[in-house]
Amino acid sequence: MTWVAAPAASLGPKAAERSPVASRGRRGNSAPLRATVLVIVIGLLITLSASWTAWTLNRHNEHSLLEIQTRQATALLGASILSLRDPLETALEIVDATGGDVQQFDDHVSTLVGPGRSFVSVVLLRPAGTTWRPVSVVGVKPLLAPGSSRAASFVGQAFKSPTFAVTAVPTTNPRRIGYAVANPKSPTIAIYAERAIPADRVVPVEKGSAFSDLNFATYLGPTTRSSALATTDLPDAQLPIQGDVVRTSIPFGNSSLTLLTAPRGALGGALGGVLPWIFLVSGSLLTLGAAVVTYQLVRRRRLAERDAQTIATLYRQLDGLYDEQRSIAETLQQALLPRRNPSIPNLEVASRYLAGTDGLEIGGDWFSLIEIGDHHFAFAVGDVSGKGVDAAAIMARLRFTIRAYLTEGHAPDVVLGMCSRQLNVNRDGHLSTVLIGLGDTHSGEISLSNAGHLNPLRIADTSAEFVSTEVGLPLGVAPSTYALTTLRLTSGSTFVAFTDGLVERRGESIDVGLERLVRAAACDVSTVDDLVSRLLDTVGRDGSDDDVAVLAFRWTSSADAPAGPTARLDPVS
């Protein structure tokens, strides 16, 4: 039987709607539309996703770069604060060491005052009742009257601050910044200085500096009110700083500086900011654009990871270089000190040198022990101010000069007098304290001369006390003369000379350290070497980054010799 299919149209409208051929035709016509819509939707999603990702990464990178440059700017400001504080503290030390020599003070601070220099005014103050009176004013008249109650209160803050005191002058709409430095151990002197602030608060930014790509504003104290503004690179109309802002607090004496920074432009380059718009405009090239975006993002991520690994490697190398530099500094320091102490009849000798905890620069602490003739010996313990190659050079020069003078037969007071004419702090940039002694191994008598150094320690049995000497000026302050102090060691008694790193601690009175040393020394030990080890272990190094030099010897004569004249050799002509 043969069947013939009738056309769908001849079957009527409802039959045509139910026809499989008609249904497939309509589905075929709608498939391209659905695919197109799907491609458009996917393309838009990919484009928007890529644009958003690029914008987020660029924003994150820009903020990271801003934080890095802000840290660099913070370090620069911290260094500039030190460059302002240190000369004032040096001036205070000069006044204290010279007994208030105004001329020495003026000579030092005159290099700091004037146009283009650190300060516009520096004042040496002494107490006058409840206020302070100016002894010497270098530069222009200070805005804060030295004799005012506010000045007295401000100077009082300097005695309580471990660094210095700082204030705005005047407190509203400041035109200068006032600094006060003082030493609680010397309550009769203080120094007040003023540094000018530009009238419009705007300071130029050097090209290539840490601030060259930043807009910045510094404020005195924790507030960012306009009245506390110190310096900026923006006109008033653009303040306060807007946009992506990083805020940092920097210690500034007994106060702080608040630093606000924002980028002037794209820190990572212009491409990062334009890239999201490129992705949006390039939507017609969806597939190629997505591939390019993926490639760039992955490549950037890998570059960032590689940069992070490179930075980590550089930090490890830097740590290694610091360790190597510390080792070189210690080796050079040891090379400048005696390798071993001489063997001297009737003396048991021990010594130590410990580098400061920072250890990256050569220190100026030293000691020396030499044998002179058949029954005389001489020794010296000294401390040059500061650190670095210059301090080490001064140390080496003094050490060998003193050894030469002592070997020639000069007495300790004569040696110090000659050395005081060879060192000048204004020329050499360093001071030095020195204790020199000349001893007789037969009688146990020792003659001492002291140039600003800590008194030595004498130990007999289990009691310890400091030897009282007439302390003269440190070397480098001015030509001077020095006195002789004579003491006599009994058999078995020990003499210990040391530098201030053994007893000084940051934020602690030196008297506390000296008492701690006496308690540690009052003990019964079998050898001098054990005694030195006990002193270093007991007194410890916590809280100190200064070098330590210790020289100790015990007179081991079997019987005390009769007291004779002071051990003093005649100079060799």
Distances (CA, A) of 321 to 257, 355, 371: 32, 18, 40
Q: Residue 2: its pLDDT value, please?
A: 38
pLDDT value for 200: 80
Please report which residue ranges of 473-561 form alpha helices under DSSP H. 510-521, 528-539
Mean pLDDT of 147-176: 88
Tokens 């480098």 belong to 476
Q: What does the pLDDT look like over 203-244, one tens digit per residue?
A: 877 676 767 788 889 988 888 888 788 888 888 777 888 888
User: Is residue 565 predicted with pLDDT exceeding 50?
Assistant: no
pLDDT of residue 359: 53
Q: Compute the distance between CA of residue 50 and CA of residue 281 in angstroms, rounded to an integer.
A: 12
Per mean pLDDT, which range of 11-25, 84-98, 287-301, 350-364 is the poorest? Answer: 11-25
Q: Please answer whether residues 211 and 233 qualify as being in contact, where contact means their C-beta atoms are separated by less than 8 angstroms.
A: yes
Q: What is the mean pLDDT of residues 521-545?
A: 83
Has residue 543 got a pLDDT over 80?
A: no
Q: Shortest CA distance to 136 belongs to which of 106, 178, 161?
A: 106
Nearest to 138 by CA among 159, 163, 165, 108: 108
Beta strands 255-263; 214-220: pairing state:
antiparallel
Q: Which residues lie across from 231 on neighbouring strands?
A: 218
- pLDDT reading at 12 higher than 90: no
pLDDT recorded at residue 289? 55
Q: In the CATH scheme, what architecture does the domain 89-268 have? A: 2-Layer Sandwich (3.30)
More confident residue, 345 or 267: 345
Q: Which fold has domain 341-555?
A: Phosphatase 2c; domain 1 (3.60.40)
> In the prediction, which pLDDT does 242 show?
85
Contacts of 263 (CB under 8 A, 6+ apart): 62, 65, 66, 213, 214, 215, 243, 244
HEC assignment per residue over 357-379: CCCCCCCCEEEEEEEECCCEEEE
For range 65-86, the mean pLDDT: 87
The dihedral sign for the CA sequence 229, 230, 233, 235: positive
Tell me: pLDDT of 316 over 80. Answer: yes
Q: Please give the pLDDT value at position 541.
A: 61
Q: Confidence band (pLDDT; 50, 70, 90) for 410? A: very high
CA pair distance 231, 217, nearest whole angstrom: 6
pLDDT at 213 (0 to 100) = 82
Q: Mean pLDDT score of the chain, rounded to an integer? A: 82
Section 117-135 average pLDDT: 91
Asked whether the predicted pLDDT for residue 404 surpasses 50, the reply is yes
Q: What is the pTM of this model?
A: 0.45
**Which pLDDT band, with edges at 50, 70 and 90, does 383 fall under?**
very high
The answer, yes or no, to whether the previous bond of 240 is cis (omega within 30 of 0) is yes
CB 177 within 8 A of CB 219: no
- Residues 306-317 have a mean pLDDT of 85
Say yes or no to pLDDT of 573 above 90. no
DSSP classification of residue 500: G
- pLDDT tens-digit map of 448-481: 999 999 999 999 888 899 999 999 999 999 999 9
User: When comparing pLDDT for 76 and 481, which is higher?
Assistant: 481
Instruction: Tell me what percent of the residues of the chain surpass a pLDDT of 70.
Output: 83
Q: What's the average model confidence in pLDDT over 245-250?
A: 92
CA–CA separation, 84 and 91 (whole Å): 12
Q: Using CA atoms of 441, 446, 449, 453 in order, give the dihedral in degrees to the nearest 10.
A: 90
3-state class of 510 per DSSP? helix
- Answer whether residue 315 shows pLDDT above 70: yes
Dihedral angle, C-alpha 239, 240, 243, 249, nearest 10 °: 130
How is the chain split into domains, by residue range?
Answer: 89-268, 271-331, 341-555
What's the rounded mean pLDDT across residues 549-567? 66
Which pLDDT score, from 0 to 100, does residue 230 have? 83
Q: What is the pLDDT of residue 540?
A: 64
Task: Tell me what the mean pLDDT of segment 306-316 comes to.
Answer: 86
pLDDT of residue 294: 61
Identify the three-state secondary structure at position 112: coil
Angle at 215 between CA 212 and CA 216, to 5 degrees: 105
Query: Per-residue confidence at 22, pLDDT binned at 50, 70, 90?
Result: very low
Looking up tokens 């060491």 gives: 97
φ, ψ at 535 (rounded to 5°): -60, -45
Q: How far apart are CA 412 and CA 445, in angstroms?
A: 14
Count of H-run helices and E-run strands, the chain: 11, 20
Residue 10 has a pLDDT of 43
First to last CA, the chain: 153
If you count them, how many residues does the chain have? Answer: 573
Cα–Cα distance measured from residue 498 to residue 149, given in angstroms and rounded to the nearest whole number: 43
Give mean pLDDT, residues 500-516.
Answer: 90
